[in-house]
Amino acid sequence: MDDLLREFVTETNESLDVVDVELVRFEQDPNNAKILDNIFRLVHTIKGTCGFLSLPRLEALAHAAETLMGKFRDGWPATHDAVTLVLATIDRIKEILESLERGEGEPEGADNDLIAQLERMVESSGPQHAIGTLTPQVLERPLRPGENSLDELERAFRETPVDPPTPKPAKPAPADSPTKDDDSGKGAGQSIRVAVDTLEHLMTMVSELVLTRNQLLEIVRCHDDSEFKTPLQRLSNVTAELQEGVMKTRMQPIGNAWQKFPRIVRDLSNELGKQIDLEMQGAETELDRQVLDLIKDPLTHMVRNSADHGLETPQERAAAGKPSHGSIRLSAYHEGGYVIIQIADDGRGLDTARIKAKAVSQGLVSDAEIEKLSEAQIHKFIFAPGFSTAAKITSVSGRGVGMDVVRNNIDQIGGTIDVKSIAGVGLSFTIKIPLTLAIIAALIVEAGGNRYAIPQLSVVELVRARSGSEHRIERIKDTTVLRLRDKLLPLARLSDLLGGQSTGDVESGFIVVTQVGSQTFGIVVDAVFHTEEIVVKPMSSKLRHIAMFSGNTILGDGSVIMIIDPNGASQALGSTITSQMAAAETVHPAATTEQSTSLLVFRAGSSQLKAVPLSLITRLEEIDVRKIELSNDRHMLQYRGQLMPLISMDKAVIVKGEGAQPLLVFSDGSRSMALVVDEIVDIVEDRLDIQVASENAGVLGSAIIKGQATEIIDVGHFLPLAFEDWFRSKEQPAQRRTRSVLLIDDSPFFRNMLTPVLQAAGYEVTVTGSAQEALAILNDGRAFDVAITDIEMPDMDGFEFAEAVRADGRIAELPIIALSSLVSAEAVERGRRVGFHDYVAKFDRQGLIAALKEQTDVGRAA
């Protein structure tokens, strides 16, 4: 592509962006001749240049669009359809430009469709104009001799044949700013176009200059009476100013990223039948070019989201007593080294209930846990991978790639995003991003004899831990943790994370308390030097795969050091420490290959630890014992407007005489019961592996939980103690035919837990402990309405079982529901392939019952 053409493409792209914005403005403000002139001139320039560069397709399109706009200028009303058509033409021009940019030349094809439409529009809008804008003009005095009436003048003017547009002498694209006539435009000749490479090179050279200056300063510092001192001082100042100046050249107003929004919003409001006002504040706020590029797409995505999901239709708005026009407000401002960008709409806000349901069904959090989360915490789930709150997928958004992508992009540039939503009032996102990626504040530390930089943004505090001080380092087997105020932080030596040998004692080092997302951990380093503004340089492609580093930089003394990526450190840490901390982390999908289960550990009746799967518990309560009442020889509690029976684990557990009584509340539908315990010890995440089965009613068996023998409680035993008909009543109509279920699970715990649940739901349950056994039962000719199988089982797993069933002609139609703690997209996909009808997370009782109902109903219908 020759230079002239490249120049043309760049120039035209910019002009078209302006035309986009201006046209939308013009449509709203059709009497502003200035805007129209500006548009007209830009399109005209494009047309002229195309002719010069012999680009016939572009020229024809531009010409047709110009003709229509010429009519606007003659006073024809800018109808909605006409503007839409011109915008469509501009899109076509952009497509052709893209192909030119790729060096492919003008693509084959014709634009007769658009041109014909444009021409038709030109012809058809003729009569409208006479009605639309020509108002009889009255002169408020008699005509003087020689004067013509205004109407006559007008007629004469209009009847004079207009010269065909003279071919404009072809000229290269003008160098001045295309917006010079615009009210807000900057003066012409104030800016020139410079290749980005040139600026990048300048930046590099300035960094080099800064380094050299620093070296000189270092030398002069050693010689007190050096005659170099004064000139060096001057050099130093000039260098600092130069650096600042060059940094400025990289800055661009954020408005550049917003430029396309008016057009996008206009198109969306058409498509969605909504009325949307777009307000933009602080478009002049500047930030680094590189950062700007990276947030462009996330911002676009969020504006689309607001328009599509956030704002209601005019009818809905009217019903809610809101103005029919919805508004989307974008604002940007600087705040101490950061740029804050807000995107707010006055729509319906986030649907908390739907997010909850989705989070639970995706296995991000259990039923019990979500009850404990605040609304704001629940809203944060929209950033989880693959999470889309849109109930229906529209062409605009809701394809499942949503806010998680936005969050990723923002994470990448070291920014943060926060969401605030008030139901019915609106939704606002606040994004905080660093002004520039090129220069960041970093803490310089030493580990294993090398220095490293840790980005200041993720450093929370520095702690020096000594055995005597309040911040103690403790050990859980080989894992070291820091007791910091009321929290336990996992610790790792930086040199260990970097694959070096463990040198020295953890206690001799400094602890850099680092936060990444919701995770906080301590990095132990040998020494901490100072904070420094460092110029981030990209890593060599041979080193880019190392997750621990995000880049490298040159320090003031000229040496190169690596920049630690806190994300990478957190991942590396996760693989070296045990999951002690993971349980404390609120919401992380269990990504471990071993099935781990959240367990509530408590004491009741004896010092022996007892545990129950957390997901079975609806709520943990501590209530004043004075509220406990005795009725019919049973302890009762007025709880949420109902009488809730309190059940003791065994006779040794006595309801306390005074103070607060801890309770585990279990609910099912509208009923609740509470288990009285002495003390709630902890919530832990561990593999549930019942090693010794129990003879005692109410205890499933014993398991080792976090190194301690713990009794696992059989909740199913206690529920009927509260309500005898707990498992029987339900909503099961008696006349309903009992459906039979084959349950396959190698874990006795789950078999024991699920059997009563399924029976309660009105199913006849046959239980087996392995897939082979199940196949044998099926081969015996016993018929089942549905099979429920675990995935992870020894010998033959759930996938293989499903394959075997599908391969057997007699039973191939049996619906199979997979039950797994391993709910990943791949597993679900594999499940679909082998023929699972449904995929339910373990512990999701409601989900399982719903899936069962669906499958057996389908079976009946078929």
Partner 1 sequence: MSTENTGQSLKEYVTAMIGGQLFGLPILRVQDVFIPERLTQVPLAPPEIAGVLNLRGRIVTLIDMGGRLGLGSRDGAAPLMAIGVESRGESYGLLVDSVGEVLKLDDNAREPNPINLDPRLARVSTGIYRLEGQLLMGVDVDRILDIGVKAIAA
Burial of 126 (0-12, 13-18, 19+ CB in 10 A): exposed
| Short-list 659, 667, 653, 662, CA closest to 622 | 662
Q: Which span sits near partner 1 by CB under 8 A: 39-47, 169-177, 207-215, 823-831?
A: 207-215
| DSSP annotation string for 579-624 | TTTTTTSS------SS-EEEEEEEE-SSSSEEEEEGGG--EEEEEE
Q: Which span sits near partner 1 by CB under 8 A: 480-488, 518-526, 558-566, 725-733?
A: 558-566
Q: Is 554 in the site for partner 1 (CB under 8 A)?
A: yes
Site size for partner 1 (CB under 8 A): 26
Among 49, 125, 207, 615, binds partner 1 (CB under 8 A): 207
Binding mask 415-454 for partner 1 (x = CB under 8 A): ---------------------------------x-x----
Among 128, 168, 558, 708, binds partner 1 (CB under 8 A): 558
Q: How far is CA 610 from CA 241, 519, 684, 718, 734, in A?
A: 68, 29, 12, 14, 37
Q: Is 241 in the site for partner 1 (CB under 8 A)?
A: no
Cβ(360)–Cβ(370) under 8 Å?
Answer: yes
d(CA 715, CA 33) in angstroms, rounded, equals 77
Among 130, 560, 654, 697, binds partner 1 (CB under 8 A): 560
How many Cβ atoms sit within 10 Å of the Cβ of residue 762?
21
d(CA 754, CA 776) in angstroms, rounded, equals 22
Phi and psi angles of residue 428, each rounded to the nearest 5 degrees, phi first: -140, 140
Q: Is 498 in the site for partner 1 (CB under 8 A)?
A: yes
660-668 and 619-624 beta bridge pairing: antiparallel
Phi and psi angles of residue 49, each rounded to the nearest 5 degrees, phi first: -65, -35
Q: Is 764 in the site for partner 1 (CB under 8 A)?
A: no
d(CA 69, CA 391) in angstroms, rounded, equals 41
CB of 208 to partner 1, least distance (A): 3
| Short-list 592, 767, 772, 618, CA closest to 688 | 592
CB of 792 to partner 1, least distance (A): 29
- For partner 1, give the closer residue by CB, 141 or 545: 545
Q: Is 15 in the site for partner 1 (CB under 8 A)?
A: no
d(CA 667, CA 618) in angstroms, rounded, equals 6
Q: Which span sits near partner 1 by CB under 8 A: 251-259, 358-366, 412-420, 493-501?
A: 493-501
d(CA 210, CA 712) in angstroms, rounded, equals 66
Q: Is 570 in the site for partner 1 (CB under 8 A)?
A: no
d(CA 78, CA 89) in angstroms, rounded, equals 15
Q: Which span sits near partner 1 by CB under 8 A: 117-125, 471-479, 553-561, 832-840?
A: 553-561
Q: Is 691 in the site for partner 1 (CB under 8 A)?
A: no
Q: Is 559 in the site for partner 1 (CB under 8 A)?
A: yes
CB of 238 to partner 1, least distance (A): 18
Contacts of 615 (CB under 8 A, 6+ apart): 366, 367, 368, 369, 597, 598, 843
Among 530, 542, 736, 737, binds partner 1 (CB under 8 A): 542
CB of 610 to partner 1, least distance (A): 45
Contacts of 643 (CB under 8 A, 6+ apart): 631, 636, 637
Q: Is 690 in the site for partner 1 (CB under 8 A)?
A: no
Q: Is 500 in the site for partner 1 (CB under 8 A)?
A: yes
Among 141, 392, 545, 737, binds partner 1 (CB under 8 A): 545
Among 420, 537, 671, 830, binds partner 1 (CB under 8 A): 537
d(CA 847, CA 671) in angstroms, rounded, equals 19
Among 4, 143, 196, 205, binds partner 1 (CB under 8 A): 205
CB of 203 to partner 1, least distance (A): 10
Q: Is 527 in the site for partner 1 (CB under 8 A)?
A: no
CB of 452 to partner 1, least distance (A): 9
- For partner 1, give the closer residue by CB, 541 or 670: 541
Q: Is 196 in the site for partner 1 (CB under 8 A)?
A: no
Q: Is 548 in the site for partner 1 (CB under 8 A)?
A: yes
CB of 477 to partner 1, least distance (A): 26
- For partner 1, give the closer residue by CB, 299 or 564: 564
Q: In what order do the strands lie in the sheet with 426-434?
A: 276-281, 326-335, 338-345, 426-434, 416-422
Q: Is 660 in the site for partner 1 (CB under 8 A)?
A: no
Site for partner 1 in 358-417 (CB under 8 A): none
Which pair of structure tokens corresponds to residue 19? 């035309």
CB of 242 to partner 1, least distance (A): 14
Q: Which span sits near partner 1 by CB under 8 A: 164-172, 244-252, 509-517, 556-564?
A: 556-564
What is the residue type of 512? V
Angle at 440 between CA 331 and CA 519, to 5 degrees: 80
Q: Which span sits near partner 1 by CB under 8 A: 534-542, 574-582, 644-652, 727-735?
A: 534-542
- Coil, strand, or helix at residue 441? strand
Which pair of structure tokens corresponds to residue 783? 């018929």
- Coil, strand, or helix at residue 432? strand
Among 208, 585, 725, 808, binds partner 1 (CB under 8 A): 208
Q: Is 211 in the site for partner 1 (CB under 8 A)?
A: yes
Residues in touch with partner 1 (CB under 8 A): 204-205, 207-208, 211, 448, 450, 498-500, 537, 540-543, 545-546, 548-549, 552, 554, 558-562
